[in-house]
Every structure is written in C-alpha cells, then in structure tokens.
Amino acid sequence: MKKYLYFIFFLLPIFCFAAGTGDIAGKVKEAKTQQPVEYATVMIQGTSIATYTNEKGSFVLKNVPVGKYKLLARKLGYAEIVLEIEVNEGKTTIQNFKFEEQALKGQTINVTGNRAIKRETPVAFTNLKSEELKEKYTTEDMPMLLEGVPGVFSTSSGLGESDLTIRGFSSEQIQILINGIPVNDPESQVVYWSNWTGVSSNVKSVQVQRGAGSSLYGSGAFGGSVNIETMGTGNKNETILRISGGTYLSDETADGKGEMEDYQPVNYNILLRQNMYLAKQKVGISAMFERKGGDSYINGTNYDGYSFGMDVDVDTKKHDVKFSFIGAPQKHNQARKVQDLELMKTLGRQYNRNNCDEQENYYFKPQFSVRDEWNINEFTSMLTNVFFTTGQGGGKYLRNDRFDPETGEVLTMELTEDRTKLAVGRHARWVYEHTGGENGGVILDGYDPESHTFNGELIKGGTNMSTGNYVHSYTNDSHNNHIQIGLNTYLKNNFDLISTFVGGEFRRWDAEHYAEVKDLRYYNPLEENNLGIYRKGQRRYDYDTVVNNLSAFVRVKTKQEICERFYDYISVYNDTYRMPFFISGDIQYATYTSEVSENPIHIFDYNTGAFLEETFYQTKDMTEVDTDGNIVKKFADDDYKKTFDFISPKIGINVNYTDEFNIMYSFALAHKEPRVSDWYDRDDGPDAGQEYTTPNLEIVYEDLKPEETVTHELGIGYITKKYTAEVNLYYTTYSDKIENMTDSRGSLTVNAGKAIHKGIEVSTSAILFKKIDLQGSCTLSQNRWDDMHYDKIFNVSSEEINGKVVPFTPEIMGNISAGYTLPIKKDKSSLRMTATWNFRDRYFGTYTNKRDQIDPVTGNATEVSSELPYYMTTDLAFKFDTKIKTKKVSFRLDLNNIFNRDNIASADYTTDYGREDYLKEIKTMYVVPAPEFNVFLTTEITF
C-alpha cells in the first residue's frame, strides 16, 4: 500500500494544475552588462513548476494554472529576485529579471571547469565559503578546517604536519588544487602543508569533491579532490590586520634529554593584507604578509614560518587575467607517528620520541602563476593556467640514534673500538673490491687485501656505507630540490543542446635528491671521551628525477533545452510538470613518465677522514652473474625509466524532480600510477620491491600496475531557503592496491589486492527563528579488504586480512554545529555563539586489526584489538563584531575540547630501530595523541 501512496504523492502536482492555464515568459540579464544569464533557475514559489534559462537568457513556463504567484529567479553569484505576477487564462505573462552580482567580479577567477555545480554536476561535493572558514581558523593548517565535511578525515601532529583522507583514500590519492593548479608532488604525490602555511588565512572558498575521477586534470583525483580558491583581489581599498594566538593544556612531559619538564606550548600568527583597486584601469591588487610561529601541543614540534604573496587582477572586455605569487619559507620540528601508548603513561602524552637538537624540516617553495579567462564570444570561453614552482630544502634528523624508554632521552650510539673497526673495515674491503685494488684504485690504510683483515680484524664482507649498520650516529640531512613548469587549459563551447569542455594538462618536474652525512661520531682513543667527529661523510644517495605528466580530457554536459525537447518528444507527461535533468560525461587520457638518473658519489675514507677522487653509483654499478656464469651489470638504462598510461571515463545524470528535490547517479573508472618510490629503491635499484625468491628458489619479477577504482554513486538532495539535506551512497571497488609489505620474501612494494570501500554520507543544515543555524554531517562507511593477491601478506596469512578493516582512517564520523547570532542594535554590533561536537570511531592501526601487547616484565605477548578508542570533542566559540568609528573589529574566543577528553588522533604501524628495550626492531602500533583542552583568541581589524 505504501508504494501506491508514494506514487500518488509524486503525481499530485500534475492533477493540481490540470484546469485553466496560461504561460509565463521572459528574459534574465545582468543589470550592469545587459548580457543574458544562462542556467538561471526560474520557479513559482510553493510549487514544483520550474525551468532554466537558455544561452540567450530566455525562459518559458507553459500551462501554469490561473492565479497570483511569487516568481523567483536565482543563480549562484547573483542576488536572488522574487516578483509578484498574475497568470490569466490563455495568455502569456511577460516578466523579465535583471541580476545584480552578489560576488564582485575581479575578486578571483572562478575555475568553473573544475568545480561542480549544485543540481547539475553528478558529483558528491561540499562547498565551504570564506565566512565559514574564518569562523574556524586560528593557526591550524588547511586540512583541519575541513573537519565536518562528510567522508573527510583530517588529522595533525603539529603545525605543518597535517594530513587528510577522503572515503578511506590517503592524501597521495587526493588531488589538491590551489586556484586550479595541482600542488601534489609529482613523485611522492603528497602535499606538504607546511609549504602552504598562508593558504588557511588566504582562502575565499573550498570545494571538496568526493569520489573517483572528479577532477579534470590528471589522475590525482583518484579518491577525490580539494579545490581551493584564494582571496585574490577586490574592488576596495582596505587594510586588514589579523592576530591569533593560543595555548594548550599540557602535563609534565619528557624533554628528550632525560628530564621531565612543565611544557607550556603557545603558538600564534599575524596577518597583514592590503587591497587596492584602480577603478579606471579595472585593476585589483592584493598583497599579504603572515608570520606564524610557536610550539604545538606535542613537545619539540615548534614552527617558524612566514608567508607572503601578491595577486594582480586585470579585467578587460575579453580577458580576466590574474598574476599570482605565493611563498612560505619555513622550518619546523616534527613528532612523526611514533608515540608509544604505554610510554605515554610515564613520559607524558606530549612526549616526542624524536625530540632532539638534530631534527628539523626546512623548505621554501614559491609558486608563480598567470591565469587567463578569455571570453571569446557569447558562446565560447577559454581558461588557461601557466605556472612555475621551485623548491629548496629538506629535512634533518639524528640517524642511528638510541631511545631510552625509561627516561625518554634521545641518545647517540655507544662508541666501541671493535664495532668501529668492523664498520670501517667493511667499507675498506668494499673500496678495495670496487676500485680494483692495486690494479687501479685505492687501498685504505689498515686493510690487507690478502688476508681480508683491517688492523688485524677479519673482515668477511664489504659495504659501501659505514653509516647503515647502526654503529655510528650522525645527522642525516636530506635535500629535495626541484623546478616545475606546467600548463592546464580548457576550451568551453556552448551549443544549442550541450556544453563541451576540451582541454588538458602538462607538467614537467625536475628534481635532485641527495642525503648528506654530517657530524659522524666514531671511536677515537686520541680524543676526549674517545669521541671523534667527522663533520662531513659520504653521501647516502644522490640522484635526479624527471617526471612528465600529460593528460587530455573531453567533457560533455547537456543543457536545459535538451530536457524541453525530450519532454516535447515523448509528450506523455503533463506540460505543467517537467523534471529538468543534466547528463555529464567525461573521458580522460593520461600518461606519466618517470626517470631516475643516479649521480656519482665521492668515496669517503672513514679511516683517514678524507674524500677520495674515486666515485661510485649507488645502484647503477651493481652486477650479477648471468646464466652463462658471466658477471654483467644488473640494471640497464631503460630500467630507470617507467611509463604508465590509461583511459578513465566517467558518466552521470542529475535529475531535478522539483526546485527543492534532486537525485543523481554517477559511474566512474579511475586509475592511479605508481609513485617513483614504489618502483625505485635508493639502495637496491629499480624494481627491487617487485623482485623476490619463491620457496623453490626461483627469482620472480612482478611489474607494478596502476591502481584502479570503479565507483557507483547515488545522491539525493533537498534544498530550500532555510533547510538543506544531502544523502550520498557509494560503492567503490579498489583493485591492484599498492602496499609496502614485509614477509618471508623480504621487503616488497606490490599490487597487494582488492578492497571494497562503501558507505553513506549525510549532511544537513537549517536556519531557525532567523538567529539560530544548525549544521550536521554523518559518515558511515565500510572499507574492507576483499581479496589479496598473495597467500601471505603483511607477514600473515591472507585469510587473516580478507574481510578486515582497511586501517588508518575511521569508518564512523559525525559532526554537529549550532550557532546563535544576537544582534546588538544600539551600535550595530553582534554577538555570535557556536557549539561544535565531533565524533569518530572504528579506526584501526594495523592491517590485521590486531596488535601484540607485550608485558614489559615477562616479555609475554597478548593479542589485542588495534582499534583506537572512540574520539570525541566538544568546542565552544564566542565572536563579537562591532565598529569603532570607521573600523570593523571582531574578537573571537575559541575553547576547544572543553571536557578535556584524552583522545588519540591517528596511528601508524612501524618499527623503532633505536629503542633499548623489548620492542627494538619489532613492528608495532604507534599513535599520535590529539590536543587536550586549548584556548585561542583571534582579533581582526579592517581599516
């Protein structure tokens, strides 16, 4: 019976308007330019009668029942218009609209080709405006401002150390665009948010697209995309000063030097922005400078950074051109994901395993871009981004360190004569064998090639590094410098029934990578405390990479006219009720070529402390014995070059059943190429991770394949002026998932198998009594391993993995926010109060969903779940807006995690080789604690 009631409900509008009718027709234009506005919604309020304007701005509503109505016209970016009209039987009522722009042109180029449109694009997405983001931002990185977006999981271990996932897909599989320019590292595919510190305070809007293939450019949007538009320029002359700072509640914690200290972290940022507008020249200029620094909630994670940039917008009759520059030099210390759950009880939850003087990340990555929006004619436009980036810097840390779990002290290796002699002797033997000894090379002092002894000690094997055997501690300084040029573009054409986008992207990335050895500590009986130090040692690696990304795409979108012709053709529906629909189809071809070139490394004599003239290549010189017993080079030049290409299609439909209610479906097939580090090992060469020996002693090579996802998605939306609700259901088959694993065959990087990601995402918002606003979201997902390619994987049987939760992202997430705005009419001020509740659960920190809990006294292991405790915070914010003479002033007080819940933010499954206890060299689960109660105060003044 219920299904018939639904049928009657959907047919009711048809019968309600069956008697005496007339028509409504008109045009919608821009008030300033008198240009027609296409795709504007025109509807009769309180009914389901609606249509869209065509490319000429015209609309017709046929067979409207006689009566008086309120006719509404609206489109994103324009002020909504409502007019009273009267429809008479058998006549056509003419009503025109003139739109006033709500967002002033010239503020920024809206990269619409890469942005979804409500009720048109068949993609699950969330838009965040600058006002919403300003309500959240204090000093944190951009990912933390996305908390509450369905399907998005954001986490941080300090300033510059943030990350996010979408629908269980890691950040390497999510494309991040800033003003339409991809900023993912082409090699690692990671976005290092520490290099984009100015984005958080410089954002106009963010669109988060969830699901495969939702970006036009490249394969980056494998699991989704985040499209950030910065502030750009405006049409006002104004100065903005913003200051924010705060502190975290903290317990006594280990300082990394063997002592406990009262850790009181404070961090802050100061922003100054100057906007200018030259009205006659139609030129907007905006310059900004930001200083960000201080300590985060984990000990030893201080940040010291700047951000500066300039935007220039030039608006002509045919072109809107934006010149942009942004840079953010910074240095900061890291915690990494190595907090021990048990040690947090004795060393404090803020202790940092890596807290020592040697650790520091430092980088400067300026980006220059020119973006041109060319309005060729009323039907055709072209958008082009040309960009250039360069990066200088890297990271330092203490390598071969020791960690004392009793005191939390980070120490250097203990020096002994025998261990030093053995390490240096192995290197001496390697140098002798590598250079041919007396026949053409070098014999290091103390090495006897006949007896293979070094200073009388028998040396059984040689090695090219004395730094890789956990004998000598030193500072590792890794450098990663690059230059990148790129262009992405598309041409949009509006035809009678469809719009087309044709374009592509090209990026070339040239990078150099090398790791310097500094302050190498060794045993020297002639020095105080038997400590000798070489200020410089032999480089651990030295190689260059070139990555070329090339993609081309075609997108076709239907227009309103195709709906009208469709309904006219089938003529089975009553003309008073037509459901506009939009069909969108993409197809993309992408090719990626990566090439590694190793550079010669000068040999260092660890016995004398001097560099030799002789050089070697880290893996290029490796040899092996062929089937004929000949010694040949292990790798050919072509082994250092990989090309991956693929075609990715996507198609979907969005049906607007009424002006409030719509439903969409999409299908997408997406691919993701392996990273450079997946197929090239700095110590073992190309394809080392794909080579292993079977139980029958057969050497097997398995080529890495691109990862693949197939996604089906259904979405339902409901929107009115005061209430919105969206529900999205998705089912994604994730095949050939690339994973790093260790088992009896060694350390491998392989296409591990298949996982199924499925779930439901709900978001809603409402306005009550004009002063209360509510927002909420909920994500219920299941990310499970489905079928593994190997009998054993992650050092366990595949049967123990199949059906388990894919780790490192929660399956349940919820967010509720309630705001109340109290106007103070006396001085036109307002007070706003906001309460936010966040919840997440079902987060596992290991592949088997279990971990060993080891008794530190007996050493006995008990198998327990690796699921983290549920995460929950309650936050309060109070904001006061007022005017002091002509200055706009706002004050905001944020009280976060007010119940001081002891949350864990995230986990990692890894090994700590420097420990001095029962967990040394054992893989286990380490965690990152979330901040406890913290307070921030933000002030903004506009002159």
Residues 519-556: pLDDT tens digits? 999 999 999 999 999 999 999 999 999 999 999 999 99
Residue pair 711/732 in contact (Cβ under 8 Å)? The answer is yes
Cβ neighbours of 77 (radius 10 Å): 13
148 has a pLDDT exceeding 80: yes
Q: How many whole angstroms separate alpha carbon 767 and alpha carbon 933? A: 30
623 has a pLDDT exceeding 90: no
202 has a pLDDT exceeding 90: no
Residues linked to residue 772 through DSSP beta bridges, in sequence order: 768, 820
Residue pair 234/277 in contact (Cβ under 8 Å)? The answer is yes
Q: How many whole angstroms separate alpha carbon 137 and alpha carbon 159? A: 13
Pairing of strands 904-911, 41-44: unpaired
Nearest CA to 127 out of 36, 253, 48, 229 is that of: 229
Query: CA dist 831 to 211, 532, 880, 885, 941, Å?
Result: 38, 64, 5, 18, 16
pLDDT tens digits along 894-914: 999 999 999 999 999 988 888
Residues contacting 9, CB < 8 A, separation 6+: none
pLDDT at residue 222 in the model: 86
**Residue 184: DSSP 8-state:** S
Residue pair 164/184 in contact (Cβ under 8 Å)? The answer is no
Pairing of strands 498-523, 812-824: unpaired
Torsion of CA 440, 442, 443, 449, to 10 degrees: -40
Residue pair 182/167 in contact (Cβ under 8 Å)? The answer is no
Nearest CA to 194 out of 18, 319, 364 is that of: 364
Q: How many whole angstroms separate alpha carbon 389 and alpha carbon 111? A: 20
Q: How many whole angstroms separate alpha carbon 168 and alpha carbon 780? A: 11
Percent of the chain with pLDDT over 70: 92
pLDDT at residue 644 in the model: 95
- Find where tokens 């390497």 sit: 172
331 has a pLDDT exceeding 90: yes
Which phi and psi angles does 564 have, rounded to 5°? -60, -45
pLDDT tens digits along 807-836: 999 999 999 999 999 988 777 789 999 999
Please write down the HEC assignment for all residues of 311-359.
EEEEECCCEEEEEEEEECCEEECCCCCCECCCCHHHHCCCCCCCCCCCC
pLDDT at residue 48 in the model: 58
At 101, the pLDDT band (50, 70, 90 cuts) reads low
83 has a pLDDT exceeding 70: yes
Nearest CA to 403 out of 841, 918, 833 is that of: 918
pLDDT at residue 577 in the model: 56
501 has a pLDDT exceeding 60: yes
pLDDT, mean of residues 270-298? 91
Torsion of CA 139, 141, 142, 147, to 10 degrees: -90
pLDDT tens digits along 1-47: 444 443 333 333 333 333 478 889 999 998 877 778 877 888 887 66
pLDDT, mean of residues 702-717? 94
Q: What average pLDDT does the structure give for the chain?
A: 87
- Sign, CA dihedral 399-404-405-408, equals negative
Q: Characterise 67 by phi-psi region: left (phi > 0), alpha (psi -120 to 50), beta (else).
A: left
Q: How many whole angstroms separate alpha carbon 873 and alpha carbon 327? A: 34
pLDDT at residue 264 in the model: 92
Q: How many whole angstroms separate alpha carbon 122 and alpha carbon 212? A: 12
Which phi and psi angles does 763 have, rounded to 5°? -140, 145
For the chain, percent helix, then strand, then coil, each to nearest 5?
10, 55, 35
Question: In this structure, what token pair is assigned to residue 468?
Answer: 């890789």
106 has a pLDDT exceeding 60: no
Q: How many whole angstroms separate alpha carbon 89 and alpha carbon 478? A: 79
**Residue 143: DSSP 8-state:** G
pLDDT, mean of residues 386-412? 94
Q: How many whole angstroms separate alpha carbon 525 and alpha carbon 532? A: 8
Question: In this structure, what token pair is assigned to residue 497?
Answer: 């029934």
Amino acid at 798: S
This prediction's pTM: 0.86
